[in-house]
Structure 1
Amino acid sequence: MIEMKYEPPKAEAYCDLRRVAGMSEKSVAAARKGLGNACFDVTLYDNVKLIGMGRLIGDGGTAFQIIDIAVDPEYQGQGYGKKIMTEIMNYLNQIAEAGTYVSLIADYPADQLYKQFGFEATEPEAGGMYRRYT
């Protein structure tokens, strides 16, 4: 049975899930620093195995970013990504104020999932940018 929790995952499990889901890798040290600082966490477990996650970070009022939406490939295609997003959106719908800005970076074809929740591409008016430390 799949269990949903509203707490950050353990750093090692977080790093492992990012890796198997094909996301950029994070160090365990960085994960330990950052995981406790999200505004909202959703984690899915099959027994003790972390199989899905999503996080919401931000300032709590004016700006939020949805990050780390990941589902283990063995569990993809079963609606778990949508469940994670639904929980995050339910939380946002309770706390967002007029003018709150929520952003995310969508890998393709995951952008189709986010469109179901009302997200739109920023192009051509704006484009996302990033810098990664190695």
Structure 2
Amino acid sequence: MSDGDSAPTPTAPEGYALRESTPSVAAFRRLRREAGMSERSREAVERGLPNTTYGVHVVAESTGEPVGMARIVGDGGSVFHLSDMAVAEPQQGRGIGTAMMDTLVGWLRTNAPDGAYVNLLADVDGFYERWGFERSAPASKGMWTRTEDL
């Protein structure tokens, strides 16, 4: 994670605690699964998590169990990509995702240089727009592939 200045103190909904770190490899993989997202191999997660620019996860105060996560990856200067935003399905709709996005955006406002490019790939409509995100088409087109297809 970056050693840059901190954003305002993060907060989470009542009953939850927001932590400024990524979850464990096992929790990361579980949260993706429980949020209905595609699997990531243990090797990929073990290699990728240490390269996080800034990450957060939310735990249920009653159990200490991670129930949500989100992170920023990129070059730390000109490109920032919001990634791995996941909230376990039973916990969705309680403000956890909003708390994590507020924290990520606050960190970006404090640490990202003017003119930096911030992007994400959204799998839900109507959530990210409240932080100023908009579709890039037709100006640009989001594209992707998987390593097995290269």
1:127 is displaced (CA, Å) by 1.1
1:8 is displaced (CA, Å) by 1.3
Is 1:64–2:69 an aligned residue pair? no
Q: Where does residue 18 of structure 1 map in the other structure?
A: 32
Identity of aligned pairs, percent?
36
| Paired residue secondary structure (1:43) | strand
Distance 2:45 2:37 in 1: 14
1:4 is displaced (CA, Å) by 1.1
CA RMSD for the aligned pairs? 1.0
Structure showing greater relative contact order (alpha-carbon pairs closer than 8 Å, 6 or more residues apart):
2
| Paired residue secondary structure (2:47) | helix
Distance 1:97 1:13 in 2: 31
Q: Where does residue 104 of structure 2 map in the other structure?
A: 88
Distance 2:128 2:79 in 1: 17
Amino acid at match of 2:134: E
Structure 2: runs of 5+ lacking an equivalent: 1-14
Is 1:73–2:71 an aligned residue pair? no
1:32 is displaced (CA, Å) by 0.8
| Paired residue secondary structure (1:94) | helix
Distance 2:113 2:43 in 1: 34
Q: Where does residue 115 of structure 2 map in the other structure?
A: 99
Is 1:6–2:20 an aligned residue pair? yes
Distance 1:107 1:30 in 2: 21
Q: Where does residue 132 of structure 1 map in the other structure?
A: 146
TM-score calculated relative to the size of structure 2: 0.84
Distance 1:98 1:44 in 2: 29
Distance 1:60 1:79 in 2: 27
| Paired residue secondary structure (1:14) | helix
Deviations 1:75-95 (A, max 9, x none): 101111110000000000001
1:48 is displaced (CA, Å) by 2.6
